[in-house]
Amino acid sequence: MTATAGRQSADDPRVTLDEQVGVFEPVPPYPPRTEREAEFYTLGDGEMFINMGPQHPSTHGVLRVVLKLDGEKVVDLDPVLGYLHRGVEKLCENADYHQTISQVDPLEYVSSLFNEWSPVMAYEKLLDVEVPRRAEYIRVLSGELNRIASHALFMGWMALDLGGLTPILWSFIERDEIVEMLAALTGQRMLFNYFRIGGVNGDLNHDFMSRLGDWMTRAAEQIDASLGLLNSNEIFVRRMRDLGTIDSQTALRMCMTGPNLRATGLPFDIRRAHPYSIYPELDFDIPTRNEGDCLARYLLRIDEIKQSLRIIDQCLHRMPDGPIIAKLPRLLRPRPGRAYAAVEGPRGQYSVYAISDGTDQPFRLRIHDPSFIHLQSVGLLMPGHLIADTMAVMASLDPIMGGVDK
């Protein structure tokens, strides 16, 4: 369809459009606003721009990346965000404390429990609430299950972005089992809305426990089996090795966290660096790798799945009895104050900075999302690589656009 001046809008026939829409020009139609933009949108000898996205299957959401190319080599890139921006922080400021939990849920829709965990922890600090121990165990148990589901899906995506279609079907087997399990526990398949201020929404039930027990007996083998598809695939391994390498100091300067930081050799994990919940009592390792390339980031997530299985095992054996939620009034009015809470999610640090002014709505809720931070280092990793490797590097950093755009 060609866009001509003066045609009717498809959205609303009463509106006449006098400009072209639906065509994404790589070069913006206005003069550069910053030093960096001026530098980026100036073409050197033999260079060209190409638009990737906003609806590109490998961008894990709606992301547009303007690539500056020299032949097939990427010289520089400029990610354009905002296509999924919903203003969740503003919505949270206009909702009461309980409602914000469901507002933050769809941010990172692959691992929703971690989105809920950090604000809930921040509110508990504001209110000086002690969470019952059973609730903490259930949180860790469900959280680690969600971590495995997220990492399992990552493995499939990773291969899909490199052009392999089979692994994603295999990884969906794993993910579906866990998602069905969590649906039995929380009532939802994806956006769980399960954590409550002071505890969780429902106790463990028979459906969940029988599914979990059934899955735990064969989880380790099943994951190993689906990994055989990729780990021994020479094309996959050789393409990933030495691609998008980042060293630990640069990763720290880029504010990276989670598996992407640990793949550079730094054992930084919020669960150990700044312990929360019951993690100090649990016995698990923090896997690290020293290479810092795409392969290391991929293999590290597999190691993490194994550690998560260990944690789930311990949770099941130590699960205490007792209440699952602290007694709190329906309408919460925390004392004026500030609280910061961070949790270690499958992609890195999720954190929330909450300010209370004494009313039933948060005065300010700052949501920090790891995908947002990791996506900006694509620009650092890509120069010099081939255009096709953009997807590989981006997939190995594992950003979710719902979280990037908030």
Binding site for other proteins (CB under 8 A): 9-12, 14-15, 17, 21, 28, 30, 33-37, 81-82, 85, 87, 89-90, 93-94, 125, 252-256, 268, 273-274, 337-340, 342, 349, 351, 353, 355, 364, 366, 368, 372-373, 375-377, 380, 405-406
Q: How far is the CB of 258 from other proteins (least distance, A)?
A: 12
Chain centroid to Cα 273, Å, comes to 20
CA 113, 115, 118, 121: dihedral to nearest 10 degrees?
-50
Nearer to other proteins, 239 or 274 (CB): 274
Instruction: State phi, psi for 359 to the nearest 5 degrees.
Output: -95, -175
Q: Which residues, in sequence order, are bridge partners of residue 48?
A: 69
Give the nearest distance from C-beta 31 to other proteins in angstroms: 11
In degrees, rounded to 5, the angle at the alpha carbon of residue 241 between the alpha carbons of residues 76 and 69 is: 20
**For residues 286 and 316, which CB has a smaller minimum distance to other proteins in the complex?**
286
The secondary structure element, H or E, covering residue 343 is strand 337-344
CB atoms within 10 A of CB 84: 18
> In angstroms, what is the minimal distance from the CB of 250 to other proteins?
8
**Measured from the CB of residue 10, what is the shortest distance to other proteins in angstroms?**
8
Q: Which residues contact 34 (CB under 8 A, 6 or more apart)?
A: none
Of 170 and 276, nearer to other proteins (C-beta) is 276
With residue 221 as reference, give the H or E element that holds it. Answer: helix 206-231
With respect to other proteins, which residue has the nearer C-beta, 88 or 185? 88
The smaller minimum CB distance to other proteins, of residues 227 and 393, is found at 393
Least distance to other proteins, CB of residue 351, Å: 6
State in angstroms the smallest separation of the CB of 80 from other proteins.
9
Strand partners of residue 67: 50, 77
The least CB distance from residue 245 to other proteins, in Å, is 16
Structure tokens at 292: 């810092």
CB nearer to other proteins: pick between 128 and 285: 128
Residue whose tokens read 């005065």: 363
Query: Which alpha helices (H) appear in 274-342, and where do they start and end?
Result: 294-318
As measured in angstroms, the least distance from the Cβ of 106 to other proteins is: 16
Residue 117 has, within 13 A of its CA and on its CB side, a CA count of: 28
CA distance linking residue 110 with residue 153, whole number of Å: 8
The residue among 87 and 322 lying less far from other proteins, judged by its C-beta, is 87
- Burial call 149-180: b when 16+ CB within 10 Å, e when fewer: bbbbbbbbbbbbbbebeebbebbeebbebbbe
Report H helices in 41-106: 88-93, 97-104
The CB-of-347 to other proteins minimum distance in angstroms stands at: 14
Angstrom distances, CA of residue 71 to CA of 81, 242, 245, 335: 26, 21, 22, 60
Identify which of residues 24 and 235 has a Cβ nearer to other proteins in the complex: 24
CB 174 within 8 A of CB 223: yes
Instruction: Note whether 156 and 162 are within 8 A (CB).
Output: no
Identity of the residue, 33 or 317, whose beta carbon is nearer to other proteins in the bound complex:
33
DSSP state of 111: S
Q: By C-beta, is 68 or 211 nearer to other proteins?
A: 68
Least CB distance from residue 274 to other proteins, whole Å? Answer: 7
